[in-house]
Amino acid sequence: MNLGIQALKSNKEKGPAKKKLNKLGPLLALVVLVIFVTIMNPSFMSPTNLLNLLRQVSTNALIAFGMTFVIITGGIDLSVGSTLALSSALMAGMIASGLDPVLAMGMGLVLGAFLGACNGVMITKGKMAPFIATLATMTIYRGLTLVYTDGNPITGIGNSFIFKYMGRGYLFGIPFPVVVMLLFFGVLYVLLHKMTFGRKTFALGGNEKAAFIAGIKSDRIKIAIYSISGLMAAVAGIIITSRLNSAQPTAGNAYEMDAIASVVLGGTSLSGGRGRLVGTLIGALIIGTLNNGLNLLGVSSFYQQVVKGVVIIIAVLLDRKNKK
């Protein structure tokens, strides 16, 4: 009896420490990875490379921010890469045809949110599993992109200052895509962690039936969340299109994998109900550092895919272990 009570007390004492360690885990992993890559190739820490790294991370992080909301509810969005491609292709087409770039970018964002909302409607009203619904739209949106572009890049977008600035500009020496990433991080952090919408999101992921009984309108929340995911994919699409000064029909291919990896590495549970946007940002930095470091070390892109796959498996196994 006394032993049992002592064991319970011990577990309670370990609880907060374990939670703190879980929160610090992604950050510690990032620090270790940075130290290792720097030792292997000191040029990694050069200001030029670090700015380049942050620019590369920005697009994946933006998509991963939206994916965080989705995964916290216990869902998944496999269509983000195709949403990025379709929204950026239509935006580029409008700019090439003479439409004001600012208006075209705005319409691209609206389209991204709409495509995400379509996913939400199929999942809530059509009672489809998120994996199946977004797998289908991933194929549909990519097919529509190929039809619209005829499989060719859209060029001749023009030299609008605002459009160029989105992907190639600098603000006080910082790449503007990084500024965009931080701005959206701030807005979405407040939405997820400081507002009622965020509490409802966590409630849906923790126990959807209990959330429904509590009066939470789960369908509306889910549609809004998938709209956010689509919107973030469209924002990333604007940045990529601006950087390349063209819209590629294959843009965003497999981007959903890096986004999911960033979310999981950041400590968000794939079963829903638990996650942090700060963790997702750290997870995106881990994936970006991994990509950048392997490139500096001259590792083949084929092996890079293997390494990222192994990292994802390790992250999922750790997530399972933490739930026990």
Backbone phi, psi, residue 171, to 5° = -125, 110
Nearest Cα residue to 73 out of 210, 208, 215: 208
71-81 pLDDT, tens digit each: 999 999 999 99
> What is the value of pTM for the model shown?
0.90
Band of the pLDDT at 22, cuts 50, 70, 90?
A: low
159-189 pLDDT, tens digit each: 788 889 998 999 998 999 999 999 999 999 9
> CA angle, corner 228, sides to 149 and 22, nearest 5?
120
Does residue 7 carry a pLDDT above 50? Answer: no
290, amino acid identity: L
Backbone phi, psi, residue 175, to 5° = -55, 135
Give dist(CA 57, CA 34) in Å, integer: 14
- pLDDT score of 215: 83
- pLDDT score of 78: 95
Does residue 18 carry a pLDDT above 90? Answer: no
User: How far is CA 267 from its chain centroid?
Assistant: 13
Does residue 261 carry a pLDDT above 50? Answer: yes
Does residue 85 carry a pLDDT above 50? Answer: yes
Per the CB < 8 A criterion, the answer to whether 241 and 105 are in contact is no
Mean pLDDT of 307-320: 77
Band of the pLDDT at 273, cuts 50, 70, 90?
A: confident
Give dist(CA 240, CA 252) in Å, integer: 9
- pLDDT score of 283: 93
Mean pLDDT of 292-297: 88
* 72 token code pair: 């916290």
Does residue 8 carry a pLDDT above 60? Answer: no
Give dist(CA 85, CA 241) in Å, integer: 9
Per the CB < 8 A criterion, the answer to whether 82 and 136 are in contact is no
Does residue 11 carry a pLDDT above 50? Answer: no
Mean pLDDT of 225-243: 96
DSSP labels, 67-129: HHHHHHTT---TTHHHHHHHHHHHHHHHHHTT--HHHHHHHHHHHHHHHHHHHHHHHHTS---
Cα–Cα distances in Å, from 7 out to 10, 16, 17, 97, 265?
5, 15, 16, 71, 31
DSSP labels, 232-255: HHHHHHHHHHHHHTSB-TTTTTTH
Does residue 270 sit in helix, strand or coil? coil
User: Which conformational region is residue 124 in: left (phi greater than 0), alpha (psi within -120 to 50 degrees), or beta?
Assistant: alpha
Does residue 121 carry a pLDDT above 70? Answer: yes
Lowest mean pLDDT among 15-29, 204-218, 272-286: 15-29
